[in-house]
Homo-oligomer: A and B are copies of this chain.
Amino acid sequence: MDKPTLPKGTRDFGPATMAKRQFILDNIRKVFQKYGFMPLETPAMENLTTLTGKYGEEGDQLLFKILNSGDYLKNADATKLETRNSKQLTFDISEKGLRYDLTVPFARYVVMNRNEVAFPFKRCQIQPVWRADRPQKGRYREFYQCDADVVGTDSLICEAEIILMIREVFKGLGITDYTIKINHRGILNGIAEAIGAAGNETPMFVAIDKLDKIGEEKVKEELREKNFSENALTKLFQLLNVKGSNTNKLAVLFKEFETIASGQKGLRDLRLVFDFLRDYGSDESNVELDVALARGLSYYTGCIFEVKINNVSIGSVSGGGRYDNLTKAFGDKENLSGVGFSFGVDRIYDAMEELNLFPKDAQVSSKVLICYFDDESFRYGLGVLSKLRQAGIASEIYPDLSKIKKQLDFANKKMIPFTIVIGSEEVSTGALAFKNMTNGEQQKLTIDQIIKQF
C-alpha cells in the first residue's frame, strides 16, 4: 500500500508548530476580547446560494463545492450530463460549499439574527477558510483568518481602535518594526478629480496599487496607455510623492483639495482618527498615511489599512477598511456601515520565524518527565507525578520500564526541560535526583523543594 499523503495545499500542524501558532492566536484573541469584540463561529459549510456571487467570477471558481449526499445524479439535467458541462452541472449535484472567507458568513449571520444582535455589533472570528487556489510558497488551500469587525456605526473611533489593536497584538508578539499604512477612499477619489481623471478612477487605482512592485515609470507607462495626459501624470506623482509627517501630508493635500469635497471628507476623517489616537493618550507612531494604498477598491468606502512587517520577505500581514454594504447582498434594506480588519496568521508566523521572535517557552511539552529504574520506583513515581500535577505543573512518566538512557533520550526528543530520576535509594530517602536537561545540572531535592523551583 502506498504511503498516505495530504491533499495539495493543506498542512498538518504538529506539536512544535501548534505551540507557536497557539502563541499567536492566543495573543490576537486576548486583544480582540479586551477591546470588546465578541467571538462568533460559523459552520465550515455554507449553502452555495450564500457564497456564490460574492467574490467575483474568479472567486466562485475557487470555492470548494460539496457533492450532495445519496443519489445525487438522480435529478441532474440530462443535457448537462450528456454535454459534460461541468460548470452547469455543479448546481444540480452540489448545494453546499466550504467557507471562502469570514466576512460573508458574518454578513449572513447578521441578517439571520438581526433582532437578537445588539448594534453596534463588535464580533471577532478566528477560523480556517478554504480556497481552491493553485498552491505556492505562502499560499495554502486551507488557512486561518482572524477577523474583527464592528457593524452598525460609522464612528471613526472604530478606525482608531483598529490601530490600537494592531499595535497591542504586535507588542504581545514582540514585533517592533512594522508600518500600519492608512489611506481613505475619499482621498483616492480626490486625487482622481485633482488630476482631471474623474470618472477614470478604476485604471488609476489599479495602476498605483502596483507602485510598490513595478515602480513609478511602469505605472506611468500603464496610465499613458489608458490615455492619461502627461500633465495628469505629473500632477499624480506630485501628489503621491508628498513626503513628511502625516500632519504635513494632510496639510499639503488640504490645499490641493480646496474645491474637492470627497477628498476633503477623506482628509477630515483621517485627521479625526489621528486626533482620537491622541485622546487615547497615544500617538501616530507606526502609522503612515500612504496615498498610494488602494486595496481591492470595489469593496471599501472609507478608511483602508494595510500592515507590513519591515525587513522581512513577506507581504502584508493584516489589512482591512470601512465598507457600507455588508448585508445588502442578502437583501437587507438598511445600510449597515461597518469597518473591519483581518490578521493573516500564516504570514505572521513566517515573519516571526524569519525574525526569530518566538519565545523559547512557546512549547507545549511537559515540564517534567519522571524516569525510574524498576517497578517499585515506577509505583513511587506515580505519587510524585500526582503532586507535580496538583501543583499545576505539566508532567508525565515514561510509561514502559526501559533503560534510563532511553528514558532521558525521550525527554530530550520531546524537549522536556527537567527530569526526576527515581531508584531504590530515592524511594527510601525521598531525596529525588532532579535534573536540568538543558545544562545537565543535577540536584537531590524532595518533591516539595522541586515544586518550589517552578
Let me know if B142 and A43 touch, CB within 8 A. yes
Q: What total of chain A residues lie within 8 Å of the partner, measured CB to CB?
A: 105
| Chain B residues in 8 Å Cβ range of A13 | 39-42
Let me know if B39 and A364 touch, CB within 8 A. yes
In the complex the two chains form, what is the Cα distance from A282 to B33 in whole Å? Answer: 39
| Chain B residues in 8 Å Cβ range of A227 | none
Let me know if B89 and A73 touch, CB within 8 A. yes
Closest B-chain residue to A41, C-beta based? B13
The answer to whether A258 has its CB under 8 Å from any CB of chain B is no
Given contacts A4-B47, A89-B73, A400-B155, are A36 and B395 in contact (CB under 8 A)?
A: yes
Let me know if A132 and B69 touch, CB within 8 A. yes
Let me know if A46 and B7 touch, CB within 8 A. yes
Let me know if A112 and B47 touch, CB within 8 A. no
| Chain B residues in 8 Å Cβ range of A382 | 157, 276, 279-281
The answer to whether A44 has its CB under 8 Å from any CB of chain B is yes
| Chain B residues in 8 Å Cβ range of A141 | 45
In the complex the two chains form, what is the Cα distance from A374 to B18 in whole Å? Answer: 47
In the complex the two chains form, what is the Cα distance from A365 to B6 in whole Å? Answer: 39
Given contacts A44-B128, A47-B5, A399-B150, are A364 and B33 in contact (CB under 8 A)?
A: yes
Let me know if B49 and A4 touch, CB within 8 A. yes
| Chain B residues in 8 Å Cβ range of A237 | none
A162 CB to nearest chain B CB (Å): 12
| Chain B residues in 8 Å Cβ range of A158 | 399
Q: Mark the stretch among A115-123, A185-193, A419-427 that contacts chain B.
A: A115-123
Q: Mark the stretch among A80-88, A203-211, A262-270, A344-352 that contacts chain B.
A: A80-88
Let me know if B39 and A397 touch, CB within 8 A. no
In the complex the two chains form, what is the Cα distance from A40 to B11 in whole Å? Answer: 11
The answer to whether A239 has its CB under 8 Å from any CB of chain B is no
Given A6-B47, A38-B365; 17 other pairs, CB 8 A cutoff: A3-B112, A4-B330, A12-B41, A33-B364, A36-B395, A45-B142, A65-B67, A66-B98, A71-B84, A73-B86, A74-B84, A118-B410, A120-B399, A158-B399, A279-B380, A280-B386, A281-B383
Q: Which residues of A contact B (CB under 8 A)?
A: 1-7, 10-15, 18-19, 22, 33-36, 38-47, 49-50, 61-62, 64-67, 69-74, 76, 81-82, 84-86, 89-90, 93-94, 96, 98, 108-109, 111-113, 116, 118, 120, 122-123, 128, 130, 132, 141-142, 150, 153, 155, 157-158, 276, 279-282, 330-331, 364-366, 379-380, 382-383, 385-387, 389, 392-397, 399-400, 410, 413-414
